[in-house]
Amino acid sequence: MESEIIFNIDVMLAKRKMSVSELAEKVGITLSNMSILKTGKAKAVRISTLVKLCEALDCQPGDILEFKKGDGE
């Protein structure tokens, strides 16, 4: 398994009692792009999008992003 970055957007949405569509609207991205972020299928994320996510969720980048180390194989 490779190392990966995990987006914990679901956790923050639950803490903020916010819907995915509401977050997508606040951040200014489509619902389908928000789903790509949520599921970890995104290949890249713009810093400006990360800033907007943090603003909308009133959190720090570390509240959303988690590094999961692979087993090295």
Along the 73 residues of the chain, how does pLDDT read in single tens digits? 889 999 999 999 999 999 999 999 999 999 999 999 998 889 999 999 999 999 999 999 999 999 999 887 5
Cβ proximity of 20 and 34 under 8 Å: yes
Alpha carbon distances (Å) from 36 to 15, 20, 24, 27, 72 = 20, 12, 11, 14, 25
Where along the chain do its domains lie? 4-68
Q: Residue 36 corresponds to which tokens in the numbers above? A: 């790509």
Neighbours of 36 (CB within 10 A): 16
Which CATH number applies to 4-68: 3.40.80.10, 1.10.260.40, 1.10.10.2520, 3.40.50.2300?
1.10.260.40
| pTM recorded for the entire structure | 0.89
